[in-house]
Amino acid sequence: MNIKQKKNSAFMFLFGIFISSIGSTSFIIGLMAFPLKMGISAAIIGAAIGTGRVTGVLVNFFGGPIGDKVNPRKLILIGELGALLSSMAILTTSIHLANDNYLLFVVAIGLRSVFTGIQSASIQKIGKIFDDEIGLSGQFAKYLNKATFGSI
């Protein structure tokens, strides 16, 4: 692969991360807005958001050394598929929240955070690989932060 192809691959990687971060951001905004509209208490919404944040931090902290030993592309694929399935579980449980199905809703949000936490370390690792291959001297991390608004 020549340098132009590597730069194109790096651009597509950043673009994909940008699109994914838009989805993650809109998920958090929707998580705060829609349950309130449905009459769910702020305490349940706070528990769901808190579960998501704490789970993500724990996965990054404890899963980082494991992620260093596994192919980052495989982890991103597993993370994307897991996040998709857990997002579908969130949608399914949120439809039935009127039946006091809060625990499954909060667990689904925690699972989604596990999968997005798995992704974030792999994204940084692939960014480092691109940085070394293209010869950007550490500039790729700066572009990666701009593409994701620091959200990963």
Give Cβ neighbours of residue 121 (< 8 Å, ≥ 6 apart).
60, 63, 64, 67, 68, 72, 75
Distance CA 113, CA 21 (A): 13
Distance CA 144, CA 128 (A): 10
User: What tokens does 55 get?
Assistant: 């789970």
Taking only the tens of pLDDT, the chain with its 152 residues reads: 677 887 777 778 778 777 777 777 777 777 767 776 777 777 877 887 788 778 877 887 787 777 778 888 788 788 888 888 988 888 787 777 665 667 887 788 888 888 887 877 677 777 777 777 777 666 776 666 665 555 44
